[in-house]
Structure formats: structure tokens, C-alpha cells
Structure 1
Amino acid sequence: MPNERHPLGIIMLDIAIERPPGDVGHSASWPFEVIFKTVPGATARKVVGGDDADLMDAFVAAGEVLRAQGAVGLTTSCGFLASRQRELSARMTLPLATSSLLQLPMVERCLPRGRRAGVITYDADALTERHFTSVGADPSTPVAGLPPDGGLRAHIEHGQPYDRDRIGNDICSAVRALLANNRDIGALVFECTNLPPFSNEVSREFGLPVYDILTLGRWFHSGLIQGAASQSFGTGQA
């Protein structure tokens, strides 16, 4: 029987950063094959700030390159692309899951009565109502952001060395602030695709389930590969 390839395609922002295991852009983070395509000019600040309308054609083109390379579905390396979920998925040939925030409605419905999900994000000031409504989530979802002068933004936007301890401390501080202000949090969703290297330790420390781009990607891919060897998306033929 031939060796079938069913990789997940990951559309990457145009940033040169260290990506440890657990990061969306490290192939060892995934239990299946992944392939990557960078969108030129898609800087972190441009996308996080929502100044990315002129990049949509390039995102679609990157998705088509990944399809041609054998991808069975697509995701991205920035959770802020949640605001473009409907626009981009409508234009892609393959199924697209832009952001870990897509998990919010399902997570909320799975929690006990009186509990809700909270979001840890790269930039709380930039996360708007549109990011939530575009993925069918509640815009009033509690949010805590990493500090503007913290380790992750220093690395991504200012070229400083990757400092795992500093970034981990920033994440835990954000979680503590979120929980202090919202006593009903029953689960965490990490918006930022660079945070999954810390998901396990955050879950252990705070006793909460953590959902991120990797949990989304594993779920998404598990459905995409059902019958992928014999089915072409968009043809309706097995």
C-alpha cells in the first residue's frame, strides 16, 4: 500500500524568530506532517493591528501553494487572523481554521454551569469584538494580555533573544490577573500561537484545561484525514 501524505498546511507570518518545540512553526510540535508557507510582508504588528487587508490575496495564494504541495487543510501562525476567518475561508480551496479562538464556543458549551472560558492574548488592546464575532464567540469573553514590554513582544517585534523564563513568567502573570478578575473561569484559550510551549505547565499550575493552536490543529486534522486518500475537497466525489 503506498505511503499516503496528509499534511496540514500552515500559513506563516513573515517573522524570523526562535520557535521551540510547541510553537506552531516547529514541525516537532505536531503528531503528523505539517508544511509551511510564509506570506511576504505579513509582519506581526501589521496583522495584530488589523492593518492587513492588503495581504488577503497573498494569504489566499499561500493557501493554494500549500494545497498544491499536498495539504489537506490549512491553519495559520497568528490567532489575530480570527477576524479574517469568514473572508479567507470563503476564498480558500481547502478548509481553513485561522485561529485557536475558533474553539471558544465549543469549550464554553462543555464547561459546568457557571463556568466560562478566558483568553490569554499577545495584545489585549488589539483584540476586538470582531475577532470574537468572526469565529462565533462571545465578545464579552474575559481577556488578559501579555505585557507590551514583556519577553514575547521584545523577541517578536524588537529582535531580542528568546527568554523562555521571562515569557513563562509573563504568561503566568497574565493568567493570575485573568483569574483574579474573573472567578468563574473554567478553561483557558491561548490566542497566540507562540504560547503552546507553556500550555502544559500553565494547566498544571492553575488546574485548568488549556486550549491552543495545537489542540485546534489536532482536532481539525483528525477530521480532514477521514477518507482523505480517496476524496478531493470541492469535488463531492469519493
Structure 2
Amino acid sequence: MGCSHSSAATTRTSKQSRRAKQSRAFCAGLPVVGILRCDGARWECAQAIVSAADRAEYHYRIVYAVVEGLPYQHVRAGKPLSASQEEVLRVAVEELDSAGCVCITGDCGSFVHYQGAVRSLTTRAVVLSPLVQASLIATMYQRTEKVIVVTNDTNDYSQADLEQNLVAIGLEQDDAKRFIVVGLQHIRGFATADVADQEVSEWGLVDESVTTVERKAIITTVERKAKERNAKAIILESTLLPSFSDALRARLGLPVFDALTLVDYFVHASTDNPRFGLDFDERQAGRCNAYDGLDPAKLPAIGILRIDYEYPPALGDIACEKSYGYRTTHEVAEGLTFEVAQEGGPLCSEKRENVAAALQRLQATPGVVGIAGDCAASS
């Protein structure tokens, strides 16, 4: 019996050792995201929380580089960097560069003030703030439609500050005005003074349960949405807020962009596609889906506007439903041939009506949250 128990224990230990080695090997092969940290930062930024080794659904690793001598209050205010701070920033970026990062982001949305400075120090993608997504979001919606930007405290980050940052990262002034800032400083723990309070060793939601804070954050955003009826999306500017993203999506039915959607964007663009990439196993076709086992009818979908062109769709084509890890629905704009789309000239009334009809069918499809095209020329 003793030998049997010993043998069983050895087998378990051997299996655990193999799993540990496999886990380490898996993690070592993951893309790396670099995070610049404020000096003395006392919060765990969202990117770090979701990329923990035991959270396999977020497939990237993180490395930190603290910008010593650059505290949160300085970053929040966007103060000019001194010569010594510029040098420390250069060293921090160099440290992240040497780690082979696919992109460099910040532990604080206010790092957007230094987007240009960091961009000049590296050839890596620099995405210091969730606001970097604003340029793409602005092109998605009509110029009369708006985007709500939620920050932790508008007492020191005003509408004018937001617009100035957006223009600095590439938006036109008229587009920058479409982004409307709202603050959560009335919720204990979110005021800048609370975040920067050096009397406590770790930032937290003071005397509040997560449920209570979530409810207050949602109410604030919903109230602002009621005033901005043509608001079509939300950006959570602060890295303290992504834990509320799903609740906001569920309550408002709007896309919510945050520090995680930003990093995910670059990680996915830098890694092999599990549905048809270099390491793809044809036996897994159509099964590499994060939503397996869920009711497709209840999932969000992307509508695909297709040109009037018939060809056998292959895995990897935009016209192939198995190319996606989510639900898609397709509609053809009759008469909009490849040649017509490639020419890019004005459409006749019949073709315009056909395109409009196809778009209406896509918009009427339950669950469609966005519309893409199957041909770049159709843009």
C-alpha cells in the first residue's frame, strides 16, 4: 500500500510538473504589452489584472517600466517634462523596447499628454490612453452623432482638456467636439485627490461595495446618455474603469471602448489567427470560437455588406462565416459589382437604392452592432 500511494503521489507530481512546464512555455510564447507606470502608483491597472497568468482568456503578458520622478498628479495635469524626467522616460521606454513589446500603453489614461513624446522614442506602437481609439470611433458614426467619454474627475480634466488631447492625437476640431466628457468624482475613491492620496498604501473604492460603485457609475453615464440622445458609443478614459464596461454594455446597449479593447486590438493584430492562421489545424475549422456553447441568436453580430460578386468563399475570406469568432450576417447590394466598386464613381439611383435596401436589411437584423464591407473598394 505504501508503494502504491508513493507511486500515485509521484504520478500526480509528474503531471503537475508537466502542466507547470507547459504553462510556462505557453506564457513565454505570448505577445508582450509594455506598460509605463506613474512613479508611486498605488493601483493595479486594468491591463495587468486581466493578463494574469491564470487568466487564459487574455493571451498576452505584461512588463512594467516605472517613470521615476513622474507622479500621478504630474501626469494627470499634463505638466511639461523636465530634462531629468525626459531622460527617465527615455530609459523606461528603452526598457520596454528591449522586452519586445507589441505596443506600449500607460497605467493611467492621462499619459495621453505624453503620446507624442513617447512616440518619438520608439518604433513600437504607442497607445498610452484609451482615447487613442477616438480617431477610429469618429469615422464609424455620422458627424451629428456623439461619444461619451467617462473619466474619474472632471474638476481637473474638462471638456476643453479632452478636446485639446483629441486634436493633439489627430482628430479635427469639429470631430473632437463630438466627444463629451463626464466625471465620476462624486463617487468616493474616484476624485483625483483620492487616487493620488499618499496616506494610503493602495488605492481602493473607499467605504463602497463594488456593486454600489458600479450602480453609481452606471446611473451617471445613463443620465448623461439621456442628455445626449444621439450618443452612439462610450470611451472609458480612466484605467480604473474597465471593470464596469460589461455592465454599461448591458445597460445601454452601446459599444464601450476602454484600456482593454485598445490593447486587445494590437495583440490580435500581432498574433496568429486561431481560425485560419499559420498554426491552424484544418480539423478545428469553425470550432476556434470564444462563443462556443452559447445561443447564437443572443450574441451580437456584425453585418457584412457584400458587393454583387459570386465566388466560392474560403476560410480566411471576409465572405466566409467560419472566418470569424462571432456571428455575422450578409446582404448583397445588387448591381454593385466589383468593377463598379473599384471605379469608385457616383452610383446611379438604382444602385444607390439597392445599397440602401441592403443596409436597411442589415440594420433590421436583431443583434447587429456594426456593419463592414466585403470589399475595401466599396468604402
Alignment of structure 1 residues 117-128 onto 2, 5 Å: 117-124=147-154, 125-127=156-158, 128=161
- Cα 1:222–1:107 change in 2 (3 A) is same
Alignment of structure 1 residues 39-58 onto 2, 5 Å: 39-54=67-82, 55-58=85-88
Amino acid at match of 1:25: A
Cα displacement (A) at 1:13: 1.7
- Cα 1:37–1:73 change in 2 (3 A) is same
Amino acid at match of 1:193: T
Please state whether the residue corresponding to 1:37 is helix, strand or coil: strand
Using the alignment, how far apart are the partners of 2:249 and 2:220 within structure 1? 13
Partner in structure 1 of residue 47 of structure 2: 24
Partner in structure 2 of residue 157 of structure 1: 196
Amino acid at match of 2:141: L
Alignment of structure 1 residues 144-223 onto 2, 5 Å: 144-147=182-185, 150-153=188-191, 155-158=194-197, 159=200, 161-162=204-205, 163=208, 164-223=210-269
Alignment of structure 1 residues 65-104 onto 2, 5 Å: 65-104=95-134
Maintained 8 Å contact 2:31/2:59 = no
Calculate the TM-score normalised by the size of structure 1: 0.81
Using the alignment, how far apart are the partners of 1:39 and 1:148 within structure 2? 30
How many residues of Structure 1 are paired with residues of Structure 2 in the alignment?
223
Please state whether the residue corresponding to 2:182 is helix, strand or coil: strand
Amino acid at match of 1:117: V
- Cα 1:149–1:135 change in 2 (3 A) is same
Partner in structure 2 of residue 235 of structure 1: none
Calculate the TM-score normalised by the size of structure 2: 0.53
Using the alignment, how far apart are the partners of 2:37 and 2:233 within structure 1? 27
Maintained 8 Å contact 2:33/2:61 = yes
Q: What RMSD over aligned residues (CA atoms) do the two structures have, in Å?
A: 2.6
Cα displacement (A) at 1:67: 1.6
Deviates most, 26-35 or 86-95: 26-35
Maintained 8 Å contact 2:150/2:234 = yes
Using the alignment, how far apart are the partners of 2:227 and 2:138 within structure 1? 18
Using the alignment, how far apart are the partners of 2:204 and 2:236 within structure 1? 22
Work out which of the residue numbers 18, 33, 36 in structure 2 matches 1:11. 36
Using the alignment, how far apart are the partners of 2:217 and 2:76 within structure 1? 18
- Cα 1:36–1:139 change in 2 (3 A) is same
Using the alignment, how far apart are the partners of 2:92 and 2:264 within structure 1? 21
Using the alignment, how far apart are the partners of 2:219 and 2:80 within structure 1? 30
Larger Rg over CA atoms: 2
Maintained 8 Å contact 1:11/1:37 = yes
Deviates most, 120-129 or 74-83: 120-129
Structure 1: 5+ residue stretches without partners: 227-238
> Which is bigger in relative contact order (C-alpha 8 A, separation at least 6)?
1
Maintained 8 Å contact 1:82/1:134 = no
Using the alignment, how far apart are the partners of 2:186 and 2:122 within structure 1? 33
Partner in structure 1 of residue 371 of structure 2: none
Q: Please identify runs of 4+ aligned residues in structure 1 that moved more than 4 A.
A: none
Deviates most, 161-170 or 179-188: 161-170
Using the alignment, how far apart are the partners of 1:80 and 1:46 within structure 2? 9
Partner in structure 2 of residue 36 of structure 1: 64
Amino acid at match of 1:180: A
